[in-house]
Structure 1
Amino acid sequence: MQKFKYKPKPNAGNMRHRITFLKPPGEIVNGWPSKEWSEHVTVWAEIKTLKGARLFEAAAVQMQDMKTFGIRYRDDVSDNMRIRHKGQDYDITSMTNDDEKDEYFTILIREVL
């Protein structure tokens, strides 16, 4: 008999922040290639704070604002996009599909200087 470890699903109630995904320059917008980052989609997100070793690791590289966002899975976003939150743009460092279940993304981001 196998024992299954209980793993709670992410709480949608924590997704109370609005973030906007931006398409890179050169993407087709209204039939023409764009010259600037253009808005793609705005979604609800959860902000997770960096703690312990991960915070130390992040601070050792550069003094940039680093955050972790959690969003529901979407197939129209990718890691070559940027994220805008409260007027600040962020590059996506890593974007992982939690447990490969197509339910939730965890996104590590770094402030664009």
Structure 2
Amino acid sequence: MQKFKYKPKVNTGNLRHRITFLKPPGEIVNGWPSKEWKEHVTVWAEIKTLRGTRLFEAAAVQMQDMKTFGCRHREDLNDTMRIRHKGQDYDITSMTNDDELDETFTILVREVL
């Protein structure tokens, strides 16, 4: 008899925030490279709070708004993009494929000043 490790599913109730991924400038549009960040895709995401030592490490660098987003895995997303949430843009610091299962991403971001 095989033993199966319990794997909780993504709680879709937590994915209640809309975030938009922005492509970096330089993409060729009508034969010319773009100069602005272009909207790529809008997805549902959750906002995870920074706690404990991560909060202190984040605050020690600069007083910028730092957030952690969680969203479903997509092949067309990468860490060169930016995220827009409620009109504010964020640079992606790190983008991690949770447990290498290709189900969800955890994305650490820093506010663009």
When normalised by structure 1's length, the TM-score is: 0.91
**Structure 2 vs 1, CA of residues 59 and 6 (structure 1 numbering), >3 Å: closer, same or farther?**
same
CA deviation digits over 1:3-37, x for unaligned, max 9? 76534233111000000000001023466421110
Instruction: Determine helix, strand or coil for the equivalent of 1:60.
Output: helix
Q: How does 1:65-80 map to 2 (within 5 A)?
A: 65-80=65-80
Equivalent position of 2:28 in the other structure: 28
Q: How does 1:50-89 map to 2 (within 5 A)?
A: 50-89=50-89
Once residues 2 and 55 of structure 2 are traced to their aligned partners in structure 1, the CA distance between those partners, rounded to angstroms, is: 36
Runs (5+) with no aligned partner, structure 1: none
Runs (5+) with no aligned partner, structure 2: none
Task: Tell me the CA shift for residue 46 of structure 1.
Answer: 0.4
**Structure 2 vs 1, CA of residues 3 and 62 (structure 1 numbering), >3 Å: closer, same or farther?**
farther
Identical counterparts, % of pairs: 87
| Mean CA deviation greater in 27-36 or 96-105 | 27-36
**Structure 2 vs 1, CA of residues 30 and 11 (structure 1 numbering), >3 Å: closer, same or farther?**
farther
- CA-atom RMSD, angstroms? 1.7
**Structure 2 vs 1, CA of residues 64 and 2 (structure 1 numbering), >3 Å: closer, same or farther?**
farther
- The answer to whether 1:104 aligns with 2:107 is no
**Structure 2 vs 1, CA of residues 28 and 109 (structure 1 numbering), >3 Å: closer, same or farther?**
same
CA deviation digits over 1:51-100, x for unaligned, max 9? 01110110011100000000000001100000000000000000000111
When normalised by structure 2's length, the TM-score is: 0.91
| Mean CA deviation greater in 88-97 or 4-13 | 4-13
**Structure 2 vs 1, CA of residues 19 and 31 (structure 1 numbering), >3 Å: closer, same or farther?**
farther
Q: Aligned pairs, how many? A: 113
